[in-house]
Amino acid sequence: MSAQIPNFIIIDDSRLDCFIAEKIIQNSGTYSSVKSYMEATEAYEAIKNGLIGDDSIITIIILDIQMPVMNGFQFVEVFEKLPKEIQSKFAIFLFSSSINENDKNRLDNYPSIIRFYSKPISKDTVAQMIEQI
Amino acid sequence: MEKQEKIKILYVDDEINNLTGFKASFRMNYNIMIAVNATDAMQHLSSHPDIRVIFCDQRMPGKTGVQFFEEIRSRYPKPIRILLTGYTDIDSVIDSINLGNVFRYVKKPWADDDILGAINEANKFYVSNSLLAVKNEELQRAYNELDKFSYSVTHDMRGPLLSVLGAIEAAQHMDDITEIRKMLMMMKDSVRNLDDFIQSIHDYYNLNRGELEIKEIDFNELVEEQIKIFNFTYLMSDVTFNTNIIQKETFRGDVLSVKLILNNLLSNAFKYQRKDNKDKTVDLNILVENGHAVIDVIDNGVGIAENYLGDIFNMFFRASTQDVGSGFGLYNVKAAVTKLNGKITVDSEINKGTHFKVLVQNK
């Protein structure tokens, strides 16, 4: 699955953080498409209904933890209940400006989370994520 | 002291005469319970956890007073233990006091003044011990809250800073000036959010630690001041703001709290508007009469989903992704209303608008 150019979606309630992530990804040149969602529920609906997600290329989800309405963990919980063939089109990376011990311990409970990264996202993070998928 | 409930005192002695004499002498001032042996004494202790002082005779068949105290100490640590004894037992008394099982001793036969003095001292000791326990508990709770609080605060303060940092990083590779301007505007919002957040922490601190400062409040003046603030921050730019202030009497209250309530409710009303609504309005009605002020803040904005209404006054709760809130504003409003012995209610419907009603008492 490696060495392919992935799609990206960003789920973050901060408009600025979405914008930054888009720019950094675009500057990296290693992307097929990039799209932002400021509400996790909206992204979830789109994934569930097959509006996003590609059969041939994997889609990296850049997911913020602390968000109102549906936070990062809640998103992962509903995501992991989706059919396996939908889940396999995505790779989730969790992002936050800080993480407490409690949340760190929770990471292991969710097999679909590949890794946690501290904000802000950088060129190197993008490269690392692509290596891991 | 008269109005308070009498202090409960337990006296344990195998001699009935001593028990009845003791009770007769002190029952006017204290609630005296008596027991002829350890078993009876235990019964009193288990049914009256608020017994403050225990007197016990040293010489009893089967068990000495020192032994009795040693036994009950771990199970009933709160009551203050006083031994009644003659001079001949002095060695065991000294040991016992040194071991901490006995607070003090009164020699037998006792004089009323000795007993009264002992009760007085014991009671003082009991009261300061209890206060200490309460303070300790409060402190522990405050520590736990502080833990949670500092985590959330660090997160909420670092968030906007890291965003700005990321933006600066991204700008290194951007050539399009309109893109950069667009990002600068977002950075400005981010910095403003951080500033708002720090301001709300300051409000939080004032509300929780600050004293009430009761002054006469002119609501017209207060609202004028608010309008100036909102004009300055451009929040009101495309919203029609209607005010209707009727102040029928002089109102006295804590100015800071009232300001905080108005400021937060109005800024929410301005912020959480529907972007596509051509006719955005915020109504502020204030009516001061019959010893209280009723403040209504009504908007026709995004509204709050019914399942979130119960949570909106909780710290760090945010019901919307629109316009980054601190999760602090309504918590502070609620704290301010409570501080003023007031009430706050909310009515809201998604995409129709929100109505906050605050009632505060005139002091």
Q: Taking CB atoms and an 8 Å limit, are A100 and B189 in contact across chains? A: no
pLDDT of B4:
66
Tally helices (H) and strands (E) across chain B. 9, 12
DSSP code per residue over B285-322? EEEEETTEEEEEEEE-SS---GGGTTTTTSTT----SS
What is the pLDDT, as a whole number, of residue A46? 95
Catalogue all structural domains in chain A, each as residue range(s) with its CATH number. 7-132 (3.40.50.2300)
What is the residue whose two structure tokens read 């809130």? B325
Residue in the structure block whose two tokens are 């405050």: B142
| Contact check, Cβ <8 Å, A119/B162 | yes
The pLDDT tens digits for B142-174 are 888 787 778 777 777 888 898 899 999 888 888
Q: From the first residue on, what is the mean pLDDT of each consecutive set of 10 residues in chain B (363 residues)? A: 75 93 93 94 94 93 88 92 83 79 87 93 94 90 80 80 90 89 90 84 78 87 86 75 93 89 90 88 94 94 87 76 70 88 92 94 87
Nearest to B339 by CA among B278, B255, B269: B255
Predicted TM-score of the model (pTM): 0.61
Contact residues, chain B, for A20 at CB < 8 Å:
163, 166-167, 169-170, 183
Which helix (H) or strand (E) segment is B232 a member of?
Answer: helix B219-232
Question: What residues in B contact A39, CB-CB < 8 Å?
Answer: 321
Torsion angle in degrees (nearest 10) through CA of B18, B20, B21, B25: 140
A67 neighbourhood in chain B, CB within 8 Å: 321
Other Cβ atoms less than 10 A from the Cβ of A107: the count is 14
Please give the residue of chain B at the shortest CA–CA distance from A22.
Answer: B170
**Are A30 and A60 contacting, i.e. CB atoms less than 8 angstroms apart?**
no
ipTM comes to 0.80
**Is A121 near chain B, with CB under 8 Å?**
yes
| Residues of chain B contacting A97 with CB distance shorter than 8 Å | 155, 158-159, 162
Element (H, E) at B54: strand B53-57
The alpha carbon of residue B178 is apart from the nearest alpha carbon of chain A, in Å, by: 14
Please indicate whether, in this complex, the C-beta atoms of B163 and A119 are within 8 angstroms of each other: yes
